[in-house]
């Protein structure tokens, strides 16, 4: 997952990207950002135009994106999840 996308979302910016690698784990289309298929210039341009033309509607998307990064991709949350996995594996013996 590109750190630049996480940083943009954490800063309250709208993320527009392509469906590539782990990006869909971070961005849910129309919920926490906007995704277009790879190499689909027309769809990507359409998403960018929609964002530019609908700033009010994008506010909820930006808030949801920030919340997702804060809840799922911060160091404390990741460390807690790692500790849970280690504890679970240790209990299995």
Above 90 in pLDDT, residue 77?
no
pTM: 0.83
Domains within the chain, CATH numbers bracketed: 3-92 (3.40.50.2000)
Give the chain's mean pLDDT.
Answer: 96
At 10-33, the pLDDT tens digits run: 999 999 999 999 999 999 999 999
Above 90 in pLDDT, residue 92?
yes
- Cβ contact 23:5 at 8 Å: yes
How would residue 7 be classed by pLDDT, with cut points 50, 70 and 90? very high
Say if residue 9 is exposed, middle or buried (CB neighbours under 10 Å; 0-12, 13-18, 19+). buried
């Amino acid at each position: 997952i590109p750190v630049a996308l996480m940083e943009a979302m954490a800063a309250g910016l709208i993320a527009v990207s392509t469906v590539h690698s782990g990006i869909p784990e971070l961005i849910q289309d129309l919920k926490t950002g906007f995704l277009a298929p790879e190499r689909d210039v027309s769809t990507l341009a359409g998403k960018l135009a929609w964002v530019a033309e609908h700033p009010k509607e994008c506010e909820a998307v930006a808030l949801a994106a920030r919340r997702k990064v804060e809840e799922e991709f911060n160091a404390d949350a990741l460390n807690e999840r790692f500790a849970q996995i280690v504890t679970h594996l240790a209990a299995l013996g």
